[in-house]
Amino acid sequence: MVRYAHLIPLFPFAAFAVNILFGRRLRKASALVSIGASFISLAIAAVTFIGNARCGEGSYMVGRWLSFGGISLDFGVTVDPLSCMMLMVVTVVGTLIQIYSIGYMRDDQRFSRFFAYMSLFMGSMLGLLLSDNFVMLYIFWEGVGLCSYLLISFWFERPAAAKAGMKAFITTRIGDTGLLIGILLLFSATKTLYFRDLGNLGINDSLLTVIALLIFCGAVGKSAQFPLHVWLPDAMEGPTPVSALIHAATMVAAGVYLVARTYGLFLAHHSSLIWVAYIGAITAFMAATIATVNNDIKRILAYSTISQLGFMMLALGVGGYDGGTFHLMTHAFFKALLFLCAGSVIHAVHTQDIFKMGGLLGKMKATGWTFIIGALAIAGVPPLSGFWSKDEILSEILREGHPVLFGIAAVTSLLTAFYMFRLIFVVLFGKPRSELHAHESPAVMTVPLGILAAFSIFAGFFRPVEFEPIMMGVSIAISAAGIGTAYVFYILGNKILPAPLRARFSFLYKLISNKYYVDEIYEALIIKPSMRLAGIAAAFDSKVVDGAVNLTAYLSAVSGKLQYWFDLYIVDGIVNMAANITWLCSAVFRRLQTGFVQNYILIAFFGLAIMILIKLTGGQ
């Protein structure tokens, strides 16, 4: 077993430190620092990958992190096929996207800051993949979330970007809270937090289910599954390489990775897996429908990502571990490719509305063709990588006996092919719909596109494929139907057919184009009430809690005549009642001191008489 995997995340972290501290002096060189670090990580990851294949899997301890009162927590790394595969994907895609970013971010003021964040992300993501326990995973999990936040609001001068970053962070954090509770519950029930122990925990099923579902909450947030998917489309406010790396290829896949990593927990009881499956299915379908009506090139891809992640969840949920993880890998390549192509297009035309583009294939050859390759891959056209993984998922769903889910998956596949080619046809073909001065991007951008395209084509062959002719046929048919429909709608019928359809199903269209009103519902049910609750709490705090015990302040603040006091008493009302009563005492007692000496004597003797009376009655 190889024992240097823990070095993989260190280089990007070092690059982050260098860039954040000396970024201003390094300027463009900071890109080289980051890319260099990624490349070293890639190299080590490759060695690990090969070593793993040769020496077998396992995990080893790196260092002690917590230790107190007989309790300790050691951090270690897991090296197994899943982590090795993901390490390779992340390092490869990450390195390529960073190279691409040199071109994309060329003119940005905060160039070095961008690469610093990218390195931080790389480090965190790699750490996440290598974690061998929940705490370590949670740490890096939040770390990638932070990078996501920082990079989404990288152009923070844009209010939308600032808001989107916050939305992403908080939405995922809601899921993370579930994860955290799950971790706490797991620890309190089993005293272990290591993944390697998940297989035989020896606790009852219902508790196990609860833990699994809580952990799944984290995955739902991170992988933008329904109902926490709302942040991902907004996250497209970030620079496109970020969208490609974080919000398509790697970070959002972490949720799927988490489920896969803790699969033992889910397998222990079937009810938790069903949840995963249905959440995945709903997400996949819902996002796909939204993607069909959206006009923003990046958002279409974002919904597509959500949909594909749902697909993976669905696969895992029905027990298709292999298919799910396989799709995780292939998706990383082709979705990164698609985003980078989209970025290249945006870079060229400075708009994201697809209906302002058109006919770009002619002007942007490299971008255009790689775009098409990506689209074919995602649509599931053989022999590109997407075909193999998607096909495997579909067959696994059917094999496990879930006809309803299979139906949803099939429809989703159809929709996927449709909206992808809607995009392709509208953007690359036809005539330009507005005045565009499109030009091909520089080589630093197109070369990574090429490499990714190659991966998108060939990644399907990284593992042996089982041929199931019938199933394959079905898959191909679905893809073809989707592409064909898109062709009919957007090439042949160009804008003739969609309009009547839209009118015919106006309610449906409205529902879908408004993203099922999920954001609005959250706004009304969660955000506004909690803001109002905060306001109420603040008012309660300053008026009631403070007021009731405000006797002190009141006494010291007010001094003066009885009249004045009376006014205040009337005006201030009930809240300061306690204070006022004391104040009244003070004023009244003070008035006892009339200055009239016989009053004094009278009071003294009155008191004396009372004392004697007490003694008389008490004594007998």
Using rule CB under 8 A, residue 603 touches another protein: yes
Region near another protein per CB under 8 A, out of 87-95, 187-195, 359-367, 507-515:
187-195
Question: What span, in angstroms and rounded, lies between the C-alpha atoms of 149 and 487?
Answer: 38
Q: Which H/E stretch holds residue 208?
A: helix 205-222
Which residues, in sequence order, are CB contacts of 594 under 8 Å at separation 6+? none
Q: Which H/E stretch holds residue 65?
A: strand 58-68
What residues numbered 533-562 form the site for another protein, per CB under 8 A?
A: 533-535, 537-539, 541-542, 545-546, 549-550, 552-553, 555-557, 559
Task: Count CB-CB contacts under 10 A for residue 615.
Answer: 10
Whose Cβ is closer to another protein: residue 404's or residue 613's?
613
**Considering only residues 350, 495, 528, 615, which one is a binding residue for another protein as defined by CB under 8 A?**
615
Beta bridge partners of 75: 63
What are 376's two structure tokens? 């074919």
Q: How far is the CB of 159 from another protein (least distance, A)?
A: 5
**Considering only residues 200, 437, 507, 598, which one is a binding residue for another protein as defined by CB under 8 A?**
598
Q: Which letter does DSSP use for residue 71 in this model?
A: E
Q: How far is the CB of 531 from another protein (least distance, A)?
A: 7
Q: Which H/E stretch holds residue 60?
A: strand 58-68
Q: Which H/E stretch holds residue 577?
A: helix 577-592
Q: How far is the CB of 63 from another protein (least distance, A)?
A: 8
Q: Can you tell me which residue has the tokens 């029930």? A: 189
Question: What span, in angstroms and rounded, lies between the C-alpha atoms of 228 and 218?
Answer: 10
Using rule CB under 8 A, residue 617 touches another protein: no
What residues numbered 487-526 form the site for another protein, per CB under 8 A?
A: none
Q: Answer yes or no: are the C-beta atoms of 193 and 183 closer than 8 Å.
A: yes
Using rule CB under 8 A, residue 143 touches another protein: yes
What residues numbered 191-210 form the site for another protein, per CB under 8 A?
A: 191
Q: Can you tell me which residue has the tokens 């800051």? A: 113
What residues numbered 20-49 form the site for another protein, per CB under 8 A?
A: 20
CA-based nearest residue to 383, from 307, 463, 476: 476
Question: Helix or strand or coil: residue 78?
Answer: strand
Instruction: Report how many residues bind another protein under the rule CB under 8 A.
Output: 94
What residues numbered 370-409 form the site for another protein, per CB under 8 A?
A: none
Q: How far is the CB of 480 from another protein (least distance, A)?
A: 46
Question: What span, in angstroms and rounded, lies between the C-alpha atoms of 546 and 541?
Answer: 6
Region near another protein per CB under 8 A, out of 194-202, 397-405, 430-438, 597-605:
597-605
**Considering only residues 32, 410, 465, 587, which one is a binding residue for another protein as defined by CB under 8 A?**
587
Q: Can you tell me which residue has the tokens 């089993």? A: 190
Q: How far is the CB of 305 from another protein (least distance, A)?
A: 23
Site string for another protein, 47-86 (x = CB under 8 A): -----------------xxxxxxxx---------------
Site string for another protein, 96-135 (x = CB under 8 A): --------------x------------------------x
Whose Cβ is closer to another protein: residue 492's or residue 524's?
524
Task: Count CB-CB contacts under 10 A for residue 106.
Answer: 14
Beta bridge partners of 131: 77
Q: How far is the CB of 402 from another protein (least distance, A)?
A: 32
Q: Answer yes or no: are the C-beta atoms of 353 and 327 closer than 8 Å.
A: no
What residues numbered 155-184 form the site for another protein, per CB under 8 A?
A: 156-159, 161-163, 165-166, 169-170, 173-174, 177, 180-181, 184
Question: What span, in angstroms and rounded, lies between the C-alpha atoms of 505 and 493?
Answer: 18
